Amino acid sequence: MRKVKYRKVRKVQPNYYEYTGVHTSEPVGMQLFVYNEKRFEEYTKITLNKVEKELNDKLQEEDVKWLNIHGLHDVELIQKIGELVGIQNFLVGDILNTQRRTKLEELDDMLFFNIKSILPGEDLDNISVEQISFILKGNMLVSFQEKRSDFFTHIRERIRTATGIVRKKKNDYLLYLMLDAIIENFYITIENYEDRIEALMIESKTNYRQDVLIRIEKNRENLNFLKRSIIPLRDALYSLKSFQDDDQYDGIEQSNYTFFARLHQKCLELLEQIDYDTNSLDSASHFYFSAQSQRMNEIMKVLTVVSVIFMPLTFIVGVYGMNFENMPELKTDNGYFAVLGIMAILAILMVTYFKRKKWF
């Protein structure tokens, strides 16, 4: 799990940018889709000059253009893309700063959206986090990914095969599809944790080792991190409702606000499921401590019964261990065996009494 940390930097230059993520091994790549209802064009491994030419093509002025960038560590290239698209400098900084929370921002004719995409990590104990940013402007949608991934593979296939209504809609519907794909990753992650939580619930009832409690707390931390990631997304999607009555912003068609309302509803469902899973972990934790206390009580009860049984026997042994010459039965031939018999009968009587009282 990756925690959000703030690093204070005193910038000498006001437009100084730095990528704060960890994905720096793969080269930065760009992919461009230009489409309408009747046709589409796809460009892979495209250069910045080719992107500029396609974006400024008057013959494609009404077409939807989706520019996808995977890789943010080439800060100079990201700056040039920002200048080409007309992105404000502080938004370029937000794109490169992967530690910021999810947010939605409306600026004149532009809509900025950044979101955390979350999937289970390879070791299952951690969460894989990637920030994805979107710029919605005119007929163009620009998406910035930290690394190459297959989140939007099905969307590309829809565009190529004209499946569904994606080619009939504008770029706001494309944004909806991409946000929906990212939210689906939350479902996948939570479903993965639900299977593990169910196993922990069963194990906490039979296994008294401390590592069970450690795993319970680790899963609780990951669920809290998921909740912290979904809450700002829920708030951002809710704020889109205010745009519906905004006469100045027309980047989203009125008929498409319903789709974003569905995403908001999905966030509420995810939060409800996380709360349920967190309560399940709390129950498992409480049961673990209750079982440990019960087990300790059983052990103490057995030890107490054994101690009580041996107390009178110890007393008898202590009496006959005193160094006096004149003691009853001390010179008796069978005195030793008589005392052992009395001690055995006393122990049996005490055990029988405890059994009848159901003390053990």
Q: For residue 255, what is the DSSP state?
A: G
Structure tokens at 236: 């951002």
Strands (E), the chain: 29-35, 40-44, 64-70, 103-107, 110-120, 127-137, 140-145
> CATH 1.20.58.340: does it fit domain 295-357?
yes
Taking a C-beta distance cutoff of 8 angstroms, is the pair 260, 223 a contact?
no
Residue range(s) occupied by CATH 3.30.460.20 in the chain: 29-290
How far are the Cα atoms of 89, 147, 232, 346 from residue 67, in angstroms, in the given order?
19, 15, 25, 90
The CA distance from 204 to 287, in Å, is: 7
Question: Residues near 126 by Cβ (< 8 Å), separated by ≥ 6?
Answer: 1, 222
Widest Cα–Cα separation across the chain:
126
**pLDDT string in tens for the chain (360-residue length):** 444 444 544 454 556 778 888 888 788 889 999 999 899 999 988 888 988 888 888 888 889 999 999 989 888 999 999 999 888 888 898 899 888 888 888 887 889 989 988 887 776 667 888 899 999 998 899 999 998 888 899 999 999 999 989 999 999 999 999 999 999 999 988 888 888 888 888 877 777 777 788 888 888 888 898 998 899 999 988 888 766 666 556 678 888 888 999 999 999 999 999 999 888 888 888 887 777 787 788 888 888 888 888 888 888 888 777 776 777 766 777 777 888 888 888 888 888 888 887 777
CATH 1.20.58.340 occupies which residues in the chain? 295-357
CATH class of 29-290: alpha beta
Under DSSP, the state recorded for 254 is G
Beta-sheet pairing, 127-137 with 110-120? antiparallel
Give me the residue label for tokens 């499946």: 163
Q: Which residue has the tokens 């793969």?
A: 26
Tell me if 66 sits within 8 A of 33, measured CB to CB: yes
Contact 146, 71 (CB under 8 A): yes
